[in-house]
Every structure is written in structure tokens, then in C-alpha cells.
Amino acid sequence: MSELASPTTAALDADVIVVGAGMSGLYALKVLRERGLRVIVLEKAPAVGGTWYWNRYPGARCDVPSLEYSFGFDPELEQEWVWTEHFATQAEIERYLNHVADRYDLRRDIRLSCGITAATWDADTNTWVFDTETGEQLRSRFAIMATGGLSVPHRPDWPGIDSFAGTIVQTSLWPEEGVELEGKRIGIVGTGSSGVQSIPELAKVAEHLTVFQRTAMFTWPSQNRPLTHEEQAAVKATYRDLREKQYHSYAAAAGTSGAVIFAVPTDDRKIKESTPEEREAALAEHGFSASRIWADTATDLDANAMAVELFNEMVRRTVDDPEVADSLCPKDYPIGCKRPVLDAGYFETFNRDNVTLVDLRKDAVVEVTPTGIRTEHGFAEIDVLVLATGFDAMTGALTRIDVRGEGDHLMRDDWADGPRTYLGISVDGYPNMFMCVGPSSPAVLANYPPQIELQVGWIRDFLLHLGEHGITRAAVEPAAQEAWCEHVADVAKDTMFMADSCNSWYIGANIEGKPRVFLAYAGGLVAYMERCNDVAAHGYEGYALS
Ligand code: NAP
């Protein structure tokens, strides 16, 4: 791909530097290298896998079915890989991604334990310069930021937290060698997906588990199960059809289970038109899922409140202690505002003798001491403190490093009022830089592997187009970016994501000072790719190419 390397071939370490060796970084390396581009991947972790390397806490597993949460680019790969459960564990997905790295000989172009501290646009040569944590400097024509949407852990800044003398561990930085948990007094903070998955597992091994909950969570039984040979063979016999469905669906999902399809009602009936008897029958038939079947709960807050009541009725029927049940009932925000969570025996865990719930809305944290957590009304002695407290999502990875574009602008300053992107892929003022599953793309609202294949495929085709036409600079036109940002906000505005009572990481509400901006594209994968493909078909309109 000599056109891409000109005119500074000698000084370039690669045509493309990809930051991150998670799912999108691995796929980018594969497809760009096979089209003749020289690619280097820089990865902070000592291993490949991204999210699936870092999040190895007890109970960690994917909430999208394994046969769907996998790459479809190579029919041989999808036939040879054997999944063992409907929802795969972290360990199995990590093994899968390592298999992908080996099968396509990717490791030779990946530098591990090599995070970057800065990426700087050099306008004189139309290149990006990367400073690494190892003190190296590398230069490429193009930058692909495959840095992940949920890769920067968020930690509470409670008084005394650094004085804690026991083991303190973040779910998203769980050590490879594991944590001694057996027979310990464990405290866990946070009841999002990570907390909800960990809590039943921690309760099984702890002498005592204290759960510190700030906001009660909507979580539905995952119905996980081992995959039978017959079930897997049936999917593999028609895998191409499944992939086609994924690529042409709202959430890159073909099936009927998993967290990403929760926004899709399974029923034509409206809860507002239902009788108490019909709602009771729904509870008897669907249990917790009775709260998510109705056609009118996604956009009508009154209907949504009725669905919340069905959910909370199930909590009360499941949890023995009425006071604990009451604390576990989500009350002040709608279903669909936050990422749906799938669990395995979450509410039942609070019936165990060795589990205590501390409702931080009634009993706030005062301080962490060397031996535990003091709240307004009590003190919990703790040996191991687990923080399942989430992430600086979608933008954190790029605003924490010095990404310096044209005119010496820093991305974190440009994004002080929220991320501004074109198609969730490019940013005005940062030429030749592309993001994978970045802010204002479907990202967390769609199944990752198929979405990555489509989006990275689009970036690959763009890079080949630039090479074929001898173009060394691709910059976003400000008006195109403004129009995309307006469209993204418009699509989200009438959804539960933006309800006044909704405070989720989708809108940055979990990070103090972060602007309240919806961080993904809610129009669905099909509409998104149509727009991207339209841009390409019109000669990459919205980009100034030179
Ligand atoms: P999260 O959804 O942001 O949950 C963080 C939890 O920590 C919330 O309960 C939050 O309470 C609590 N918290 C944060 N700061 C706190 C503080 N200072 N004091 C008390 N509580 C505090 O994070 P997550 O559980 O890691 O999940 C993030 C996303 O990762 C998910 O939404 C999902 O997209 C992905 N994920 C997926 C899977 C899967 O595939 N199964 C598993 C794990 C994660 P508030 O609600 O009050 O802020």
C-alpha cells in the first residue's frame, strides 16, 4: 500500500497504529494487514482481549448469547469454535479471543504492556505520533482508537478509602492471579451489571457478604444453560442466515434473548389497556419478564411505571425480608433508562443468612476505615472490598490521554461539553483518526462483534479509498459533524434514556461533572450503517480529503 506511506515512508513505523487489542483492535489488525497495510497495535494490558482480559471477577460473563457474541467474518472460525453455554463466561471469551489472535497470526504486530500516554497530530507531515508508557515514540499515517467504551474504571472517593488495610479490588481490574475470597468478610459496592453478576458468586464463598447499594437495579433472570451439541449444530448449520440477520437488525442480534434486545417488546398488548387479571396472568407466565413484554413501556412513562410495579411485585415475592425487598425495588427511574442486567439468582441471594444489604439511600457512607466501612447507622467489618462502581464510559479512554489534534487542541477540552463526532468514527480537528465503536455510534446499544465487523470494515474501505487516490489527509467538515450530533440527540430525545428521572452512565451521570449528553446512537445498527454507507457512496461526503 505504498500510496499510503508516501511521502514520509522512511519515518513511518506503520501505515496505521491501532490502540487497543480488544475485539475491535484485533479485527482491525486482521482486515487492514490482509489488505497490505502495515499495522502496529499498542495494548496497555499484558495480554490481548480488552474488556475480556480486565473483567475477570467472579461471575463475569457476557449478556449476549455466545453463538451471537462471536465473529462471523470467517465461516471456518465460527464452525470450529465450540461454545459451552448459552451465555459465555469471561474465561471462555478470553480463550476465544486468544484463539483469534493465534489463528490469524496477529500477535507479531501487537505490542503488549505498551499503553499510550499521548497521541499528537503532526500537521507538517500529516501523521500521528504516539508516546507510549514504555518511553517509545511511534509514528503512523492513520490512528485507530480501539480503546473501548468501558475501559476506564470509576472509583468512589469516600473519605479514608486509601486507608483500607484489607484487600481492595475493582471488578474491572481483577488480578489474573485471583483474589483470596474463601471464608472472608467481603464488602461489595455497586449493583450494576458487574455487581449483580458478582454478588451471588461472592455470597457462595464469603463468610459474610455486605452489599452496599445506592440505586436498586432492574435485573432479569438470564436463563443461562449449557449448550447442547444439537442446539449448537442447528445454529452452525444455518450460521450464514444468523449473521445476515445480525448485520441487518437494530441491535446486531438475531435471537430473542440477551440484554441488547430488551428494548424490543415481545407483545402487541399495551400495559395501560390491561386489566389487573391480565397483569397477574403475565406475572404467572413470565415472572420478572412480565415487566418487559408490553408495547407501550418504551416511550410512555405512565405505562413504564406500571411495568415497574410488576417488576417490584416480583422482587417482593422473591425476597423474604420485606424491608430488604423494599430497598431492592427500583423506584425512581424507568425501565429502559439503564442498560438491562441479566442475573443468576440475584434477588434470591438476599435470602441467605450470610448476606446483608446496606441501602445507602437510607444509611449513607461516612468513611472507610482500615477495617471496614462506617455508615451513618452502622459499621461493617470487611477483609476484602470489591468495587463494582462502573466506568467513565465511552469518552473516558480518550479524554484521559493527551489526544492532541490540529492547532494543539486537546480532545478532552474539545469534548468538555460532551463528545462531538462524525458518525461516531471521526472528530473534527483530528484528521486521519478513527474510533471503533466510539461515542455517537450504536456501541453499547448493539451486539459488539457484528457491529465491529461492519464499522471496522467501513474504516478499512475508507483507508483503501484514500490510498487508491493518494490522499494523505482526511478531515471532518464541521458542518457534517454538527448535523450528525444533532441527529444523534434527536433520535435519543424521546426515549427512556433521556427521561428526567434517568441517571445512567449512558448519559455520563455516574461521573461527577460529566455533561449530561447521550453517548451512543439510538437509531439502531441498520439506520447507522445505511448512513455510513451513504457517506461512502457519495465520495465520503462530510470529509475534506487532500
Ligand atoms: P455500572 O452499571 O455503572 O454500575 C456501577 C454501580 O456502582 C452502580 O450501582 C452505581 O450506583 C454504583 N456506584 C458508583 N459509584 C458509587 C458510589 N460512589 N457510591 C455508591 N455506589 C456507587 O457499572 P458496571 O456494573 O460495571 O456495568 C457497566 C456496563 O458494563 C454495563 O452497563 C454493561 O454495559 C457492561 N457490562 C456488561 C456485562 C455483561 O455482559 N454481562 C457485565 C458487566 C458489565 P448508581 O446506580 O447509584 O450510580
User: pLDDT tens-digit profile of 59-80?
Assistant: 999 999 999 999 999 999 999 9
Centroid of ligand 1 to alpha carbon of 194 (angstroms): 6
The closest-lying atom of ligand 1 relative to the alpha carbon of residue 172 is: 26
**Are residues 187 and 382 in contact, defined by beta-carbon separation less than 8 angstroms?**
yes
Pocket test for ligand 1, best of 61, 89, 194 (most atoms within 8 A of CB): 194
* pLDDT tens track for 78-96: 999 999 999 999 999 999 9
Nearest-10 crossing angle of helices 448-468, 525-537 = 0
Looking at residue 259, what is its pLDDT? Answer: 78
pLDDT at 376 over 90: yes
pLDDT grade for 264, boundaries at 50, 70 and 90:
confident
pLDDT at 3: 44
Mutational test site, ligand 1, from 66, 150, 261, 358, max ligand atoms within 8 Å of CB? 150
Q: Predicted confidence band at 256 (pLDDT cuts at 50, 70, 90)?
A: confident
Q: Is the pLDDT of residue 339 over 70?
A: yes
- Per-residue pLDDT at 301: 93
What is d(CA 431, CA 31) in angstroms, rounded to the nearest whole number?
A: 21
Cα separation, 464 vs 31, in Å, equals 11
pLDDT of residue 496: 85
Q: Whose CA is nearest to atom 17 of ligand 1?
A: 156
Q: What is the pLDDT of residue 525?
A: 97
DSSP classification of residue 227 = P
Instruction: Read off φ and ψ for residue 319, nearest 5 degrees.
Output: -95, 125
Our answer on whether the CB atom of 66 is closer than 6 Å to any ligand 1 atom is no
Ligand 1 site, residue 54, Cβ cutoff 6 A: no
User: Average pLDDT of 272-298?
Assistant: 95
Which among 57, 68, 214, 338 is the best mutation to test ligand 1's pocket, defined by most ligand atoms within 8 Å of the CB? 214
Is ligand 1 within 6 A of the CB of residue 63?
A: yes
pLDDT in tens, 296-308: 998 899 999 999 9
Statement: residue 255 has pLDDT above 90: no
DSSP string covering 305-329: HHHHHHHHHHHHHH-SSHHHHHHHS
> 148-190 pLDDT, tens per residue?
999 899 999 999 999 999 999 999 999 999 999 999 999 999 9
Give the three cell numbers for residue 184: 472472608
pLDDT exceeds cutoff 90 at 257:
no
The pLDDT tens digits of the residues spanning 437-479 come to 999 999 999 999 999 999 999 999 999 999 999 999 999 999 9
- Rounded to the nearest angstrom, the distance between the alpha carbon of 188 and the centre of ligand 1 is 12
Residue 186: the pLDDT is: 98
Stretch among 15-29, 190-204, 314-328, 488-502 having the lowest mean pLDDT: 488-502
Output the pLDDT for position 2.
Answer: 40
Give distance in angstroms: CA of 484 to centre of ligand 1: 28
156 lines ligand 1 (CB under 6 A): yes
CA pair distance 379, 254, nearest whole angstrom: 48
Q: Which amino acid is at 308?
A: V
Given pLDDT bands bounded at 50, 70 and 90, which one contains residue 130? Answer: very high
Which atom of ligand 1 lies closest to the CA of 387?
7
**Do 21 and 48 form a contact (C-beta atoms < 8 A)?**
yes
Contact yes or no for 311/288 (Cβ under 8 A): yes
Residue-level pLDDT at 10: 52
Q: Is the separation of the CB atoms in 334 and 305 below 8 Å?
A: yes
Using CA atoms of 381, 385, 386, 389 in order, give the dihedral in degrees to the nearest 10.
90
Does the pLDDT at position 1 exceed 60? Answer: no
Best residue among 193, 212, 215 to mutate for probing ligand 1, ranked by most atoms within 8 Å of CB: 193
pTM, to two decimals: 0.96
Residue tagged 460473563 (cell numbers):
61
505: pLDDT strictly greater than 70: yes
Amino acid in position 543: Y
Q: Which atom of ligand 1 has the smallest separation from the CA of 150? A: 30
Query: What pLDDT does 9 receive?
Result: 55
Give the cell for residue 491: 433520535
Rounded to an integer, the average pLDDT of 254-277 is 85
Nearest to 245 by CA among 236, 255, 235, 237: 255
Instruction: Record the cell numbers describing residue 189, joined without a space.
Output: 459496592
Q: What percent of the chain has pLDDT over 70?
A: 98
Which residue is closest in CA terms to ligand 1's atom 4? 192
| Mean of all residue pLDDT scores within the chain | 95
Work out whether the CA dihedral 190, 191, 197, 201 comes out positive or negative.
Answer: positive
Measured by CA distance, the residue closest to atom 28 of ligand 1 is 390
Rounded to the nearest angstrom, the gap between the alpha carbon of residue 429 and the centroid of all alpha carbons in its chain is: 26
Q: Indicate the pLDDT class of residue 7, thresholds 50, 70 and 90.
A: very low
User: Is residue 436's pLDDT more than 80?
Assistant: yes
Rounded to whole angstroms, how far apart are CA atoms 251 and 450? 9
Distance between CA atoms of residues 133 and 95, nearest Å? 27
Lowest mean pLDDT among 173-177, 256-260, 315-319, 370-374: 256-260
Amino acid at residue number 9: T
The whole-number average pLDDT for the span 520-531 is 97
* 196 CA → ligand 1 middle, Å: 9
Segments of 179-223 assigned E as strands: 185-189, 208-213, 219-221
Determine the residue of 502, 510, 512, 519 to mutate for testing ligand 1's pocket, defined as the one with the most ligand atoms within 8 A of the Cβ atom.
510
Q: Provide the pLDDT for residue 263.
A: 67
Q: Among all chains, which residue has been given the C-alpha cell 417488576? A: 311
